[in-house]
Structure formats: structure tokens, C-alpha cells
């Protein structure tokens, strides 16, 4: 859908947590220099899963200092609130606070009834430790778990607030409560497509005049004692190699799967009028979006159809040649990359007609629901400068007809489209450009 006749929507604040740091400038520098966030796991035991490496956000420790500048009262409140936050929710709240601070959207400059929060999130799995004490109470003399004892003996050992630590609507709830934001509030749980879907909803909400400003974010992690097990059983993960930084190889002929990662990102969206009135610095303008769901019933190439749908929608009536670059999902799986490449060719034509195509996943793998926003920030900060090449792309797969950015020195242009898709065929895309 193209932004043609309604309110213009601009970006005025940025916050992020990634395997390549907590600052957008540092992440972009690492991307351009070919640095990798894929390292040995520190939060998962080694020798248990088929892989022992992934992209953890090491710089995010959970310390209150990771939330950016906060006044004394808010710092105390959030520190207390982290007791009922798992890591994914902590990252989500942190990036939202960082983006809000970065935007300068102070209490005095915002209408709390027209400022809200829209957040994307994975479904979040509880840590097994939450139930350890209760399970121990239900073991018989032979160490066997007795289900009949759980209700009366085991369950009371579980923290009554444990569920609050894992509900996917909690990032948006916490951020709204901490900052007294009473405007539109929504939570979207669509795996990797969550970030783009949240941005699409926020764009539409402001465009319709239902809000002046929205904190838009997404958080996710594939690095978790249970989720990582699920991923190893259900997904196509990259095989271990001597150099773990080579594990993620999007669109390369030798690619063999994705890499587990974690991260979160947030942007502040405002109407142009609202941002201008308060003298805010503007980092980009949202000018299009797309959302689509195409299931397996549509055929073997259902992801290709979903991606093509959102690319067309985000492009709208604009000339395809006006797009500076395309930030692909680039998961690194054999079939997924090929379907995405075919979708790009379907919409933009042969590689010589396409904008440069890149992806950050070669550097830090799949961040789950956090992927979309972190990748959006990487492309946003690239505008007007040099585009970062696809990491580990030594030989483009002949079945992936894309204009792959494989070397330094390629211009990022003045606009981009970023796209993400789930294994189930839910896709989202956002088009952003530099302000004219």
C-alpha cells in the first residue's frame, strides 16, 4: 500500500539490541567491515544440540544501564519490573526506552492519549527452571514424577507471577505503563514477520489519524534451552564448521541452513506534522508496506508468492528503479533463499534491472521476531552511504537470480525495502526513504 494522500509518517528515534552491539552506528560499521556475531554459545550447554554456535547479543546483560538514559524514578520502576521479565521482554523494553530517549519525544512534547506502542514478538517459551522446585516435590522414592501430586504439592512451588515473564503482549504493556502512553496499543506474534507487520500497523494507524506518535518494536530469540531444541528438530539449521563465522551463507551455492540468533529493535514513528512542530530530527520516511499470508495449500512455492505479494504492495505505484536497495530475508536455507530470489525476480525483473540485494543474516543469523526491526535499522543507517555486502557470499547460487551485493563500494541509495517471511508463509515488507 502506497502512502499517497494521507498523513506522512516519519522516523524520529532508534533503539536496538543485536549480536553486533547496542548502537546502530557500531552495528553498521561491523556489517561493512564483515564482522560476525556468530560465536560459541554461552547460555546453552555444549554438546547437547547439533550445533554449539549462534549469535547471542552479548552486550545486553540485563543491567538497567542497557536501557539507556532514564530518570531516577523510571530507572527504579523498570529495575523492579525486570523481576517479571524474561530476556526477550527485557530486550524489547530496553530498545523501546532507547528509541524513545533517542527521539527526544519527552513527556512535555507528547500527548499521552495520542502516543502508543505497537510491538512484535515471538511466542515465548518458559525456562525449565521455573518448574524445578515443583517437580522435585512430586518425585517418589525412586525418583519418578507422580502426576497426581502436581496440583496439591508441585504447583504451589511455582511463582504465581511466572506467566507474566513470558506473555508476548508484555513488551507493549510494560512500555506503555512505564511511560504512561495511552494511545493505540497492539501486540503481533508472527515469528520473523512480526517486526514488519508491527511497522505496517503503526504506519497505517498514524496515517489514519488515530495517533500522533507510536513506538514500534519487535523482540525475539532463537537461543533458549527449549526453543533451540525445537529449532534443531523442525528447521533447516546450518551444519557446524571449523570457522563458525562461516555458518550463515545466504544465497551462496554452499549454504545449508540458518543460524540461531537473538535481538530486538524499536523505532519511533510520528506524523510529519507532529515531528516538525517539536523540531525533531528525522531519519527517514515510511512510504509503503505490505503484508500477506500464503499457505502450503497454494503449492510448493507458497513463500515465493507471499514475498512477491508484499514486495508489490510495498512498491505500490512507484517505479521499481527508484528503490535504492532491497534488504532480503536471506535466511540461508536452500529452498527458502531460492523462493525469495525468484520472488524478487518476479517483481523487479532480471538481476540487471534489480536494486542491489543484501541481508544482514550472514553476520548474525535469524533473530526471530527481532529480525525485521534490526535489519530495518541496518538499512536505514545505510541510506545515502555505502551498502554492506552479503557475508560469506563466495559464489551466488545459479538458482537465485538476484543482484546480490557481494563487494564493498555499492551505494545503498536513498530508499530501501526490507522483507521477512515465516516458514508458514506469512510475509511483511516496509519501504523507507530519506526525507526529500
CATH label of the domain that carries residue 94:
3.40.47.10
Whether 32 and 321 have beta carbons less than 8 Å apart is answered as: no
Residue 60: CB partners within 8 Å, gap ≥ 6? Answer: 17, 22, 66, 90, 91, 94
> What pLDDT, on a 0 to 100 scale, did the predictor assign at position 108?
94
Residue identified by cell 507471499 is 306
The total of structural domains in the chain comes to: 2
**33 and 61, same domain (yes or no):** yes
Alpha carbons 362 and 359: distance in angstroms, whole number: 7
Whether 259 and 236 have beta carbons less than 8 Å apart is answered as: no
For residue 72, what is its C-alpha cell? 531516577
Short-list 271, 280, 270, CA closest to 102: 280
Q: What are phi and psi of 16, to 5 degrees?
A: -155, 155
Alpha carbons 111 and 182: distance in angstroms, whole number: 9
Short-list 368, 285, 283, CA closest to 329: 368
Is 101 a member of any domain? yes
Whether 38 and 243 have beta carbons less than 8 Å apart is answered as: no
**150 and 198, same domain (yes or no):** no
Short-list 246, 254, 117, 268, CA closest to 178: 117
* 3-state secondary structure (DSSP) of residue 402: coil
> What pLDDT, on a 0 to 100 scale, did the predictor assign at position 4?
43
> What pLDDT, on a 0 to 100 scale, did the predictor assign at position 160?
87
Alpha carbons 344 and 321: distance in angstroms, whole number: 13
For residue 152, what is its C-alpha cell? 496439591
Alpha carbons 291 and 211: distance in angstroms, whole number: 21
Print the domain residue range for 139: 128-157
Per-residue pLDDT of the chain (436 residues; tens, 9 = 90+): 444 457 999 999 999 999 999 999 999 999 999 999 999 999 999 998 888 999 999 999 999 999 999 999 999 999 999 999 999 999 999 999 999 999 999 999 999 999 999 999 998 999 888 899 999 999 999 999 999 999 999 999 998 888 999 999 999 999 999 999 999 999 999 999 999 999 999 999 999 999 999 999 999 999 998 889 988 888 999 999 999 999 999 999 999 999 999 999 999 999 999 999 999 999 999 999 999 999 999 999 999 999 999 999 999 999 999 999 999 999 999 999 999 999 999 999 999 999 999 999 999 999 999 999 999 999 999 999 999 999 999 999 999 999 999 999 999 999 999 999 999 999 999 999 998 6
For residue 142, what is its C-alpha cell? 525412586
Residue 140, H or E segment: none
Number of separate helices (H) and strands (E) present in the chain = 12, 12
Is 212 a member of any domain? yes
**234 and 153, same domain (yes or no):** no
**330 and 263, same domain (yes or no):** yes
Is 183 a member of any domain? yes
**68 and 195, same domain (yes or no):** yes
**228 and 320, same domain (yes or no):** yes
Alpha carbons 249 and 257: distance in angstroms, whole number: 8
> What pLDDT, on a 0 to 100 scale, did the predictor assign at position 2?
43
| Helix 87-103 × helix 170-179 angle, to 10° | 40
For residue 6, what is its C-alpha cell? 494521507
For residue 324, what is its C-alpha cell? 535504492
**95 and 208, same domain (yes or no):** yes
Alpha carbons 334 and 344: distance in angstroms, whole number: 16
Residue 70: CB partners within 8 Å, gap ≥ 6? Answer: 64, 78, 97, 101
DSSP state of 197: H
For residue 17, what is its C-alpha cell? 539490541
* 3-state secondary structure (DSSP) of residue 339: helix
Is 363 a member of any domain? yes
Alpha carbons 309 and 290: distance in angstroms, whole number: 7
Alpha carbons 114 and 270: distance in angstroms, whole number: 10
**140 and 224, same domain (yes or no):** no
Alpha carbons 431 and 311: distance in angstroms, whole number: 9
Amino acid at each position: 500500500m502506497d502512502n499517497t494522500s494521507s498523513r506522512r509518517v516519519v522516523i524520529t528515534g532508534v533503539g536496538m539490541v543485536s549480536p553486533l552491539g547496542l548502537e546502530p552506528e557500531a552495528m553498521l560499521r561491523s556489517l561493512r567491515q564483515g564482522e560476525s556475531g556468530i560465536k560459541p554459545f554461552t547460555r546453552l550447554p555444549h554438546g547437547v544440540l547439533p550445533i554449539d554456535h549462534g549469535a547471542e547479543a552479548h552486550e545486553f546483560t540485563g543491567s538497567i544501564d542497557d536501557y539507556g538514559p532514564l530518570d531516577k524514578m523510571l530507572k527504579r520502576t523498570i529495575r523492579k519490573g525486570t523481576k517479571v521479565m524474561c530476556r526477550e521482554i527485557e530486550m524489547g523494553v530496553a530498545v523501546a526506552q532507547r528509541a524513545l530517549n533517542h527521539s527526544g519525544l519527552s513527556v512535555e512534547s507528547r500527548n499521552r492519549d495520542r502516543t502508543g506502542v505497537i510491538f512484535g514478538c515471538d511466542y515465548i517459551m518458559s525456562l525449565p527452571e521455573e518448574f524445578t522446585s515443583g517437580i522435585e516435590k512430586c518425585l517418589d522414592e525412586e525418583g519418578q514424577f507422580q502426576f497426581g501430586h502436581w496440583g496439591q504439592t508441585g504447583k504451589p512451588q511455582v511463582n504465581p507471577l511466572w506467566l507474566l515473564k513470558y506473555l508476548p503482549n508484555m513488551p507493549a504493556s510494560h512500555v506503555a505503563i512505564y511511560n504512561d502512553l495511552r494511545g493505540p496499543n497492539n501486540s503481533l506474534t508472527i515469528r520473523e514477520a512480526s517486526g514488519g507487520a508491527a511497522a505496517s500497523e503503526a504506519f497505517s494507524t498514524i496515517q489514519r489519524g488515530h495517533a500522533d506518535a507510536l513506538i514500534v518494536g519487535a523482540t525475539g530469540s532463537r537461543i533458549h534451552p527449549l526453543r533451540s531444541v525445537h529449532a534443531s528438530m523442525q528447521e533447516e539449521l546450518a551444519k557446524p564448521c571449523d570457522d563458525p563465522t562461516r555458518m550463515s551463507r545466504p544465497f551462496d551455492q554452499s549454504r545449508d541452513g540458518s543460524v540461531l540468533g537473538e535481538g530486538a529493535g524499536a523505532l519511533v514513528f510520528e506524523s510529519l506534522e507532529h515531528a516538525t512542530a517539536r523540531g525533531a530530527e528525522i531519519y527517514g520516511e515510511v512510504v509503503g508496506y505490505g503484508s500477506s499470508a500464503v499457505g502450503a495449500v497454494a503449492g510448493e512455492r507458497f513463500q515465493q508468492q507471499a514475498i512477491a505479494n508484499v514486495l508489490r504492495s510495498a512498491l505500490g505505484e512507484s517505479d521499481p528503479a527508484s528503490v535504492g536497495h532491497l534488504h532480503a530475508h536471506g535466511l540461508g536455507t536452500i529452498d527458502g533463499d531460492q523462493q525469495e530470489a525468484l520472488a524478487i525476480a518476479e517483481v523487479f525483473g532480471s538481476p540487471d534491472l534489480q536494486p542491489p540485494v543484501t541481508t544482514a543474516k550472514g553476520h548474525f543469523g535469524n533473530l526471530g521476531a527481532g529480525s525485521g526491526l534490526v535489519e530495518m535499522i541496518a538499512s536505514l543507517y545505510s541510506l545515502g552511504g555505502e551498502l554492506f555486502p552479503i557475508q560469506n557470499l563466495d559464489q551466488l547460487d545459479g538458482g537465485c537470480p538476484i543482484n546480490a551485493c557481494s563487494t564493498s563500494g555499492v551505494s545503498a541509495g536513498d530508499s530501501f525495502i526490507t522483507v521477512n517471511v515465516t516458514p508458514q508463509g506469512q510475509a511483511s515488507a516496509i519501504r523507507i526513504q530519506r526525507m526529500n
